[in-house]
Structure 1
Amino acid sequence: MKPIKSLFLSLFVLIAISACKQNETKETTPEFKVDFEKFTLDNGLQVILHVDRSDPVAAVALTAHVGSAREKEGRTGFAHLFEHLLFLESENLGKGGLDQMSARIGGSGANGSTNRDRTNYFQTVPKDALEKMIWAEADKLGFFINTVTEPVLAKEKQVVKNEKRQSIDNRPYGHTSAVINSNLYPEGHPYNWEVIGSLEDLQNATLADVKEFYRRWYTPNNTTLTIAGDIDVEQTKAWVKKYFDEIPRGEAIPNLEKQPVNLKSTKRLFYEDNFARAPQLTMAWPTVPEYHKDSYALNVLTSYLSDGKKAPLNKVLIDDEKLTDNVSFYQYNSELAGQLMLTVTAFDQTDLNTVASAIKNGLKDFELNGISEKDLNRIKAGQETDFYRGLSSVLGKGFQLAQYEIFAGDPGFINQDVKNILAVTPEDVMRVYNTYIKDKNFIATSFVPKGQKSLVLDNSQLADIKEEKIVEGAEETFDASIAATYEKTPSSFDRSVEPPYGSSPELNIPTVWKKELESGVKVYGIENNEVPLVQFEIQIAGGLLLENKDQVGVSNLLANLMTKGTKNKTTEELENAIESIGASIYSYATEESIIISGTTLSKHFDKTMDLVNEVLLEPRWDEAEFELLKQSTISNIQRSKANPNSIASDEFSKLLYGENNILAYNNRGTEASVNSIDLIDLKNYYNKNLSPQLTNFHVVGAISEQDVVKALDKIDTTWESKDVAITELPMPLYPEKSTVYFYDVPGAKQSVIRFGYPSVKATHKDFYLANVMNYRLGGGGFASQLTQELREGKGYTYGIRSRFSGSQYVGEYTISSGIRTNVTYEASSLIKQILEDYGKNYNEEDLEVTKGYTIKSTARAFETLGAKLDMLSNISNYELSDDYAKQRETLVKELTVDDVKTLITHYIKPNQMIYLIVGDAETQLDKLEALGFGKPVLLNQNENLE
């Protein structure tokens, strides 16, 4: 539940259907349509239905046309606050609301998102639970507000404030957006404030304010209901009318006029950031609202200027002047106005005036040369693939239809949107550059590490940022257990009766084909023709496991270098070859593998695999690219040292595995180890450790087994086999007793926790059942005790989870969260108590909820291409049978309470646990001795953190 645009929605702003043959002539692509039926209830509710029978699931999305732009100054953050409140309770769903029901019915986890202009609530469920979802969404819209009481509001304020601390206050550059928007948009403009609002406004919100906001905006005539999936249209219509019809229409909602802005002067602002370890420059120009005719060319412009080796900005800033390893440039369009955002995080100690000068030079390059038809077609080819990827789930289709209905007035606008994209010409791209960027005023922010004010842009003024102080007992207290008392809203039928399930859907397990090639490569595939896409990955065992702990980082550098050109192609030529067919190819390293993965249109699978063959078998070993990668890696390592979440992950691995185990190290290495690595080290690793005998190839999509095997012929016949042994790792043991470790980050707005210990491998017979056992403890989101007690009961955190994770080599159990700083001890003590009581208190109700979710959720287990790819990975890596999902279903059905209690005894050990806390030692360290595990160990006592 984050105050950002949904990934799916942003994809659809950028979609296009286009392709380009190698000779640059355009292919004819048939007009794409998503069939839908739309109708409007008498109360104004817009309803859109879309049938997709590829999986036995249905996605339900309720979208209210209200975001932060509809708020009042001084009462900001209300739309996002409501995103939270609507999940908690309604008159007939009862306490726990949709979150509790989601656990019972096997839903994907009810969720929502808020942006400037809309708030949505969404979930994918097995199709037998569709009527339940329609009933629940209607209860939220029409039978909710009476359940909001002072204690409920007080608690949810704390949750939202914890979200703000986690996503903004306790992370590097977190305040950049607020500084940009408050200066780009004048006072009184609805985009002047942030979607999440201010801590002060949230604290000042009264119950009367909240109810007024709800009654104004959460009405049927300001809401769109989208239902997509394996549905019976007539039955669905009847359910919608039954449950929504009698909710009264609200006041008429006037359309907001477009409000683009015009900056009268350029503004430069700076801030010394407590969490930054490198200077960052962000520049913002005002542009146009969503779906404006110029927005299409602006999307092409930002992509061309900053994506890939050929991009003018990258050429200057990355390759020529070596000021950074990444340039981010994108268009942030909203309903009323838009903006271009250009961000460069520079290398350590880089003067941002130098960065600004380099940006100017990169833009001059574009002014002189423009964009060619070839490059324009290359960008459109990538947009086609993105388009189909966004349609690979029923929820993605539902989001798309709602987006067009609300902001374009017609779900069928998809076809006009596509035409607008295809109509962009090179002249359009240059025109919008001249209109919105060249010689135009902008906002620039310089965020630099503490004590490095000398690096900011000249003539910058100090930004107005209010940092929260750590004060003991500052938050108001509340009792979230107090039940709301109210007179129920009248209805024509008894809404307290939850609708029954429909017919249970059969678990639809995809058919898997397998083949072992002569070279030793094992191939696993699933043919699926729902969309004309193919996703694949080559997984080569090894990664960090085959490295020397004195020179960690080799496999990471090697994986990143593999896509920086091939024997016969420079980096730019390889990028152009990939992008011209709308494909993507990535290579990266993990602790246990080097992986080459990608997505392509099925019609270009052969061409894509030709390029993969080059990447894998014909490395370029480009010295200049290698040096750039080293510099980039070192910069990332430096920046991570001030990020509390990165610190927590790295320190926990050290404590868990110990210095003699290679897995104690982050696979990107340290500054010293990366500096010590030469290109010859990468070549030695490549020649010694990359072998077809250690390789699994996973492929899913609109491609046959025969065509896949044919495309792998070169890999099969030319990749040299070699014997590579992965040494069995020494397994770390449970700590003999619990110890509290503390890493000091002065001024941290949250304490980041990692509690845990070594546990079972993914191949262990109990691994799956241990996760089932953990569902009610910390793995089930809002169905878990950790979430219910720390978030819902106390307001200590925005989110907390526990899980068993592992591979064929290792396993671990971890609890992770970001906790409000001034309750670090209280939260840690409560977690310890929950763990100690879990086995004693586990009962039949816990088991029933766990079984309900685990069994029913399998209906949507393999819906997307990515989910099918994960299925193949599980089968190949852990030697599972093709029908492992059905086998697991049987295991869960047979579980008893005593079985679960036995698992708890074996695998939940609160008194043999590493308790790691990353936070403000001055205010929190000493109190943690009261946990009863001795004096906390301060891990960085002698470090200078400034």
Structure 2
Amino acid sequence: MFNKIFSFVILALFAVGCAQNPETSKKEFNVEYEKFVLDNGLEVIFHIDPSDPVVAVSLTAHVGSAREKEGRTGFAHLFEHLLFLESENLGKGGLDKMTARIGGSGANGSTSRDRTNYLQTVPNDALEKMIWAEADKLGWFINTVTDPVLAKEKQVVKNEKRQGVDNQPYGHTSYVIDKNLYPADHPYNWQVIGSLEDLQNATLADVKEFFRRWYVPNNVTLTLVGDFDPKQAKEWVKKYFDEIPKGEPIESVTPRPGKIETSKKLYFEDNFARLPELTMTWPTVEQYHPDSYALDVLSEYLSSGKQAPLNVVLVDNKKLTSNVRMYNRTSELAGQAQLSIRAFADKDLDEVAVALEEAFAKFEKEGISEKDLARIKAGQETNFYNALSSVLGKGVQLTQYNIFANNPGFINEDIQNVLAVSTEDVMRVYNQYIKGKNYIATSFVPKENLIAALEGSEKAEVVEEKIIQGAEESFDASIQASYEKAPSSFDRSVEPPYGKAPEVKIPAVWEESLANGLKVYGIENHEVPLVQFNLVIDGGQLLDDPKKVGVANLLAQLMTKGTKSKTTAELEDAIEQLGASVNVYATTESTTISVNTLSRNYDEVMTLVKEIILEPRWDTAEFELAKQSTISRIRQLAASPNMVAQNEFNKLIYGEGNIRSQNILGNIKAVEAISIDDLRTYYEKFISPSVTRMHVVGDLGKINILASLQNLTTAWESKEVNIPAFDAPSRPETAQVYFYDIPDSKQSMLQFGYPALASTDPDFYSAEVMNYILGGGGFASRLTQELREGKGYTYGIRSSFSGGKVAGPFSISSGVRSNVTYESAQLVKDILIDYASTYTAEDLKTTQSFMIKSNARAFETASAKLKMLENISEYGWEADYVKGREKIVNEMTVERIQELAGAYLDPNTMIWLVVGDAKTQMKGLEKLGFGKPILVNQEKISMEVDR
């Protein structure tokens, strides 16, 4: 997706700049880089950005699922995992351990159809260490992969598939589409993550063959972006990568579009869906194809915005859905235009299909105007600068162009392709790829609602896993591999030293209180010509009537649905013509107006924000639509195991009498009872500058910002708002296991914990320091090392103190494969019991190193700076509160960690909530020793266990 973001936005940059000075604009917006190639074929890209003392390091292999063989799928994604685990010179878990010590962002990666990347942002004093570590991935890794390591990582990947696909509503949609859009021998016929069967059948020999073919220097790009000395970095790259042997030549691939001989209609009864969803897919063209740019515009015009033809017909006129999604997905070999409509619960997808034809006919008659074409392109300039606000984003984009356009400088050449798009092109690609063309139509419907599927649909072939106790193979991932080390001209086992320690600069913060009570906090920053700001209005759900929760959420939705002088469409158009975004959302404790804009358009955007605050439209049609949309979301979330776990946990933590126990959306009965007058009352009583904090980060200073607020100070009258103070919940006296049944769930969602600390509690940050090694430190944490790396039970697990204005919960959360539900819970219990007594001086050293060194990247992005301002305004902290936290970290002792663990990690007083398949998993949890589990939802359950 990155390629199109940059393509469209450069047009806006070019067009706007040329109106003033074409030559200046070309220079001003050029992303400079240096590229060189080693003798072994490794391509290296440098881009210098001295704004923060950090460097983004990415290693990207031109291999994704498209390079796999049928029956051996999922290998590229498997290597995304394996390459983090061990290498000859870093040792087992070495990269993750080093990441913690150096204060890195956390080694991460992703796999697509066509490439696999490995990413991390680190303080610049650790650059040589990272270059050393990345070289080990290519030249000194594969010998460390053993049968036990492979067996364990298969389980991790399969858990990822269960979590993201098998246990999610509509999770199998892409599988069904791709199986029917691409022939069996096409490399896009299978999913990137592969199949459970293929992963299980993969042998060590298969895996090593795949690595040696594709993970070679002549198929890899190394990109460094940030604050570093390029001359020194080039020497390090050559030192560590030069002697890695070149692989066999890699043949280029030829585009091969999907093929549909005749339109196909397929249905699937989805265990987790609560609403019927229709997805239609047409084969299009590969990335950078001349038509791909017009197809992007077409997709956005048809589906995005109040006046989009699909929204006008399906949402406003027919009231079949609250949302239409359409996009043009482009990959190296092919593309596909995809349109999805999740209908309301009582609607039939045949009605949706008829309405789609009407919407397309509307577009065919009216076309797209020059104004709409300009509007669609205009917003991309802001997206462009947002992408440039992080060194990692720049690195990803330069790599993308290098691999798939054979030139990182294509970022500038691509402008001409975007400039060429006309309204005629948009209509032409519609006629060429969509109108009257064969398609794949999938109907994903709830169980027992097959009648909602498109008439004439055939059953889709989907492989679903059965829950069988003891089905997974056993392994011992701790067994050390025995092998002859790969040769090197120097001793690579010696970790390179740190460079010069980076100088961490805390951003300068300015503050002001206005006459009406509005408090303003700002950070001036000129890295990119953007301003991001938000207005946080305290109250949120806390000001709802406990018997009619949902008013704050609905009001937030309605605030962007027009003003006194502008309809919803007119307001939306005014914002988008400026290339800005304005979003309003409610949380438990506040309502937030969030804005992103080019700095040159700030004043105009602020004028619109003032209208939104002071002159609501109270559009009854939009209100009814918002209610219907909210009810649909409530229905759908009721079948999402993740959301069920969070909602039920909140109920157990806070209790019935506390409004925090309720989902901010409310329940169906409450939402149906809400009137637009309820929203008016909330607005008139509670939306006040006296409880509002404004946070501003970007390319304008204090004088400009305050000048823009002058008339808001006089027009927005202050009123007294009393926010209810609900009692902080107390910790249970004894532990209890609770179970929420979702029949045939492929994973069990674990949510363990109890009420703990507010963010203002003297122990709060110390407790976070204590939690780093337990579950807050990613791969450095024991929970991850034991449950994921040691046992393969889960894809991910974490623990955290949520904080907040009142005591928020300490919680441990994870999704584990169903047939190890008890084993996972017992292992968590054991880790908690042993944590204090087994915490070491080395654990403390790792924690201190990470928490101090990571401050080098603490304020890199605008979002991080906004969060800093929010902390200052909400909790009354000083602008340099980070220094106080550093003092806590530096003075921490093992004894203090043990004391904190004793106070805040007691498994015997915790809530142990499991959301999963009760008939196979509930009874086993009695072995935890906390009594018989309590069934939360009162459905009849067979307690028989599959064997």
TM over 0.5: yes
Query: Does the aligned pair in 1 maintain the 2:183–2:259 contact within 8 Å?
Result: no
Structure 2 vs 1, CA of residues 27 and 600 (structure 1 numbering), >3 Å: closer, same or farther? farther
From 1, 11, 36, the equivalent of 1:17 is 11
Q: How far apart are the structure 1 equivalents of 2:66 and 2:463?
A: 22
From 297, 300, 303, the equivalent of 2:300 is 303
Amino acid corresponding to residue 641 of structure 2 in structure 1:
P
Does residue 1:187 correspond to 2:196, yes or no? no
Does residue 1:472 correspond to 2:466, yes or no? no
Structure 2 vs 1, CA of residues 885 and 411 (structure 1 numbering), >3 Å: closer, same or farther? same
Amino acid corresponding to residue 25 of structure 2 in structure 1:
P
From 645, 660, 670, the equivalent of 1:673 is 670
Q: TM-score, normalised by structure 1?
A: 0.98
From 788, 807, 821, the equivalent of 2:818 is 821
Query: Does the aligned pair in 2 maintain the 1:39–1:48 contact within 8 Å?
Result: yes
| Aligned twin of 1:627 | 624
From 124, 140, 144, the equivalent of 2:141 is 144
Spell out the pairing of 1:487-636 with structure 2 (5 A cutoff): 487-636=484-633
Name stretches of at least 5 consecutive residues in structure 1 with no aligned partner: none
Structure 2 vs 1, CA of residues 25 and 311 (structure 1 numbering), >3 Å: closer, same or farther? farther
Query: Does the aligned pair in 1 maintain the 2:156–2:794 contact within 8 Å?
Result: yes
Structure 2 vs 1, CA of residues 10 and 373 (structure 1 numbering), >3 Å: closer, same or farther? closer
Q: How far apart are the structure 1 equivalents of 2:381 and 2:192?
A: 31
Structure 2 vs 1, CA of residues 19 and 683 (structure 1 numbering), >3 Å: closer, same or farther? farther
Superposition deviation, residue 128 in structure 1: 0.3
Query: Does the aligned pair in 2 maintain the 1:108–1:125 contact within 8 Å?
Result: yes
| Aligned twin of 1:356 | 353
Amino acid corresponding to residue 478 of structure 2 in structure 1:
S
Name stretches of at least 5 consecutive residues in structure 2 with no aligned partner: 943-947
Q: How far apart are the structure 1 equivalents of 2:906 and 2:506?
A: 36
What secondary structure, in the 3-state scheme, does the structure 2 residue paired with 1:336 have?
coil
Spell out the pairing of 1:783-794 with structure 2 (5 A cutoff): 783-794=780-791
Q: How far apart are the structure 1 equivalents of 2:684 and 2:888?
A: 44
Q: How far apart are the structure 2 equivalents of 1:231 and 1:791?
A: 35
Query: Does the aligned pair in 2 maintain the 1:404–1:411 contact within 8 Å?
Result: yes
What secondary structure, in the 3-state scheme, does the structure 1 residue paired with 2:435 have?
coil
Query: Does the aligned pair in 2 maintain the 1:37–1:50 contact within 8 Å?
Result: yes
Amino acid corresponding to residue 363 of structure 2 in structure 1:
F
Q: How far apart are the structure 2 equivalents of 1:433 and 1:544?
A: 44
Q: How far apart are the structure 2 equivalents of 1:541 and 1:9?
A: 39
Please list the CA deviations of residues 857-909 of structure 1 after superposition, one character each: whole Å capped at 9, or x if unmatched: 00000000111111101111111111111221121011111111111111111
Does residue 1:61 correspond to 2:36, yes or no? no
| Aligned twin of 1:872 | 869
Superposition deviation, residue 422 in structure 1: 2.4
Query: Does the aligned pair in 2 maintain the 1:265–1:442 contact within 8 Å?
Result: yes
**Count of residue pairs the alignment pairs up:** 938
From 409, 413, 416, the equivalent of 1:412 is 409
Please list the CA deviations of residues 56-107 of structure 1 after superposition, one character each: whole Å capped at 9, or x if unmatched: 0000000000000000000000000000000000000100031221111100
Spell out the pairing of 1:698-709 with structure 2 (5 A cutoff): 698-709=695-706
Q: How far apart are the structure 1 equivalents of 2:452 and 2:179?
A: 23
Amino acid corresponding to residue 5 of structure 2 in structure 1:
L
What secondary structure, in the 3-state scheme, does the structure 1 residue paired with 2:802 have?
strand
| Aligned twin of 1:777 | 774
Query: Does the aligned pair in 2 maintain the 1:20–1:378 contact within 8 Å?
Result: no
Superposition deviation, residue 15 in structure 1: 3.6
Structure 2 vs 1, CA of residues 27 and 276 (structure 1 numbering), >3 Å: closer, same or farther? farther
| Aligned twin of 2:450 | 453
Spell out the pairing of 1:384-395 with structure 2 (5 A cutoff): 384-395=381-392
Structure 2 vs 1, CA of residues 20 and 35 (structure 1 numbering), >3 Å: closer, same or farther? closer
Amino acid corresponding to residue 706 of structure 1 in structure 2:
I
Query: Does the aligned pair in 2 maintain the 1:306–1:327 contact within 8 Å?
Result: yes
Does residue 1:235 correspond to 2:232, yes or no? yes
Does residue 1:317 correspond to 2:314, yes or no? yes
Please list the CA deviations of residues 659-714 of structure 1 after superposition, one character each: whole Å capped at 9, or x if unmatched: 00010001110001100100000000000011101000001010111111111122
Does residue 1:900 correspond to 2:881, yes or no? no
From 90, 101, 107, the equivalent of 1:110 is 107
Q: Bigger CA drift: 760-769 or 692-701?
A: 760-769
Q: How far apart are the structure 2 equivalents of 1:533 and 1:481?
A: 49
Spell out the pairing of 1:57-456 with structure 2 (5 A cutoff): 57-456=54-453
Superposition deviation, residue 419 in structure 1: 2.4
Structure 2 vs 1, CA of residues 84 and 21 (structure 1 numbering), >3 Å: closer, same or farther? closer
| Aligned twin of 1:742 | 739
Q: How far apart are the structure 2 equivalents of 1:42 and 1:508?
A: 40
Q: Bigger CA drift: 27-36 or 141-150?
A: 27-36
Spell out the pairing of 1:629-648 with structure 2 (5 A cutoff): 629-648=626-645
Q: How far apart are the structure 1 equivalents of 2:890 and 2:8?
A: 45
Amino acid corresponding to residue 786 of structure 2 in structure 1:
E
Amino acid corresponding to residue 755 of structure 2 in structure 1:
P
Superposition deviation, residue 26 in structure 1: 9.8
Q: How far apart are the structure 2 equivalents of 1:207 and 1:942?
A: 45
Superposition deviation, residue 13 in structure 1: 5.5
Does residue 1:887 correspond to 2:884, yes or no? yes
Superposition deviation, residue 25 in structure 1: 8.7
Query: Does the aligned pair in 2 maintain the 1:329–1:343 contact within 8 Å?
Result: yes
Query: Does the aligned pair in 1 maintain the 2:7–2:411 contact within 8 Å?
Result: no
Q: How far apart are the structure 1 equivalents of 2:807 and 2:857?
A: 28
Q: How far apart are the structure 2 equivalents of 1:719 and 1:477?
A: 66
Does residue 1:30 correspond to 2:16, yes or no? no
Query: Does the aligned pair in 1 maintain the 2:751–2:913 contact within 8 Å?
Result: yes
Amino acid corresponding to residue 504 of structure 1 in structure 2:
A
Query: Does the aligned pair in 2 maintain the 1:18–1:27 contact within 8 Å?
Result: no
Does residue 1:653 correspond to 2:650, yes or no? yes
| Aligned twin of 2:727 | 730
Q: TM-score, normalised by structure 2?
A: 0.98
Superposition deviation, residue 611 in structure 1: 0.5
What secondary structure, in the 3-state scheme, does the structure 2 residue paired with 1:339 have?
strand
Amino acid corresponding to residue 16 of structure 1 in structure 2:
I
Superposition deviation, residue 262 in structure 1: 3.3
Amino acid corresponding to residue 558 of structure 1 in structure 2:
L
Structure 2 vs 1, CA of residues 246 and 816 (structure 1 numbering), >3 Å: closer, same or farther? same
Write out the 4+ residue segments of structure 1 that deviate beyond 4 Å after TM superposition: 19-22, 24-29
Amino acid corresponding to residue 441 of structure 1 in structure 2:
N
What secondary structure, in the 3-state scheme, does the structure 2 residue paired with 1:831 have?
helix
Structure 2 vs 1, CA of residues 20 and 26 (structure 1 numbering), >3 Å: closer, same or farther? farther
Does residue 1:691 correspond to 2:688, yes or no? yes
Structure 2 vs 1, CA of residues 27 and 729 (structure 1 numbering), >3 Å: closer, same or farther? farther
Q: How far apart are the structure 2 equivalents of 1:625 and 1:461?
A: 37
Q: How far apart are the structure 1 equivalents of 2:706 and 2:826?
A: 56
Amino acid corresponding to residue 395 of structure 1 in structure 2:
L
| Aligned twin of 1:929 | 926
Q: How far apart are the structure 2 equivalents of 1:25 and 1:142?
A: 51
Q: How far apart are the structure 2 equivalents of 1:530 and 1:20?
A: 19
Query: Does the aligned pair in 1 maintain the 2:3–2:401 contact within 8 Å?
Result: no
Query: Does the aligned pair in 2 maintain the 1:688–1:724 contact within 8 Å?
Result: yes
Superposition deviation, residue 763 in structure 1: 1.1
Please list the CA deviations of residues 433-459 of structure 1 after superposition, one character each: whole Å capped at 9, or x if unmatched: 011000000101000000111111111
Query: Does the aligned pair in 2 maintain the 1:69–1:191 contact within 8 Å?
Result: yes
